[in-house]
């Protein structure tokens, strides 16, 4: 199975990048499963129903969220009628939506998509390790799903790496999101789970983690808010991770970084070109 996970989409610039590039990549690379992190897609904060549908129409098979899941209040309602929108699994019981979704892939197989949120330097949610364990016990690789993708949305690299080893050999891809800066540690772990600490963002990198530079600089220099954060609007880089799995096991056999457009150095998975 050919899997593409696209990192945190930031505002209008990031959405335009996805809608312009993803349909062509699906055809060119013969993608079977596309997962997009969309928690910053609405003006940098949260997601709306219209934007969720825009990402699905562009070719996303599932959209994951994170700590900004509810910044657009409508998400608390429409998530119930958006079966492929996945919020962190370790929110308390009774939170709207779902933390995992079993979706049909483009080649007619089954993929489980899980979203979890870390607890270091973030809101103290329920234990993400225990929550992920419950999902994997309920829907194991090969017996319940042909591929499993886990989006670990958190601040600390150590927490992402720990989750990677925790699920190694049990998921196809463990991808870190949230910090918006692509790391160079993509690899296949000993148990054949593809891993990257942070896939990066899909947004304008002439910015401070996707936001126009003036307000973040002002807050660092003066410690006084001067206004609200606004997404940068320049040409976006699409940051993603490409994974190919073995049909017999559902585990990874190839992994590569993707960076297309914008100001970052281009990267493409050589095994698909």
Residue found by looking up tokens 């996805």 in the block: 18
- To the query of whether residue 68 is one of the catalytic residues in this protein, the response is yes
Burial 73-104 (b: 16+ CB within 10 A, else e): eebeebbeebebbbbbbbbeeebebbbbbbbe
Name the phi and psi angles at 103, rounded to 5: -115, 155
CA 52/CA 41 separation, integer angstroms: 9
Catalytic residues: 68
């Amino acid at each position: 199975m050919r899997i593409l996970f696209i990192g945190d989409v930031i505002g209008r610039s990031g959405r335009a990048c996805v809608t312009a590039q993803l349909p062509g990549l699906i055809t060119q690379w013969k993608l079977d499963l596309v997962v997009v992190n969309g928690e910053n897609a609405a003006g940098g904060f949260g997601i709306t129903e219209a934007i969720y549908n825009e990402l699905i129409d562009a070719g996303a098979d599932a959209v994951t969220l994170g700590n900004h899941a509810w910044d657009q209040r409508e998400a608390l309602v429409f998530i119930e009628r958006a079966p492929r929108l996945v919020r962190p699994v370790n929110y308390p019981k009774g939170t709207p939506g779902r933390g995992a979704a079993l979706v049909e892939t483009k080649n007619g197989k089954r993929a489980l998509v899980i979203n979890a949120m870390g607890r270091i330097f973030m809101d103290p949610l329920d234990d993400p390790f225990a929550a992920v364990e419950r999902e994997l016990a309920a829907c194991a690789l090969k017996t319940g799903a042909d591929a499993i993708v886990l989006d670990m949305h958190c601040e600390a690299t150590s927490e992402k790496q720990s989750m990677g080893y925790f699920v190694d050999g049990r998921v196809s891809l463990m991808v870190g999101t949230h910090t918006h800066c692509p790391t160079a540690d993509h690899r296949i772990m000993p148990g054949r789970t593809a891993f990257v600490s942070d896939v990066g963002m899909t947004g304008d990198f002439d910015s401070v983690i996707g936001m126009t530079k003036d307000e973040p600089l002002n807050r660092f220099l003066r410690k006084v808010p001067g206004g609200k954060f606004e997404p940068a609007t320049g040409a976006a880089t699409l940051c993603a991770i490409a994974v190919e799995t073995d049909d017999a096991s559902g585990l990874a056999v190839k992994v590569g970084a993707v960076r297309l457009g914008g100001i970052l150095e281009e990267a493409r998975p050589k095994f698909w070109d």
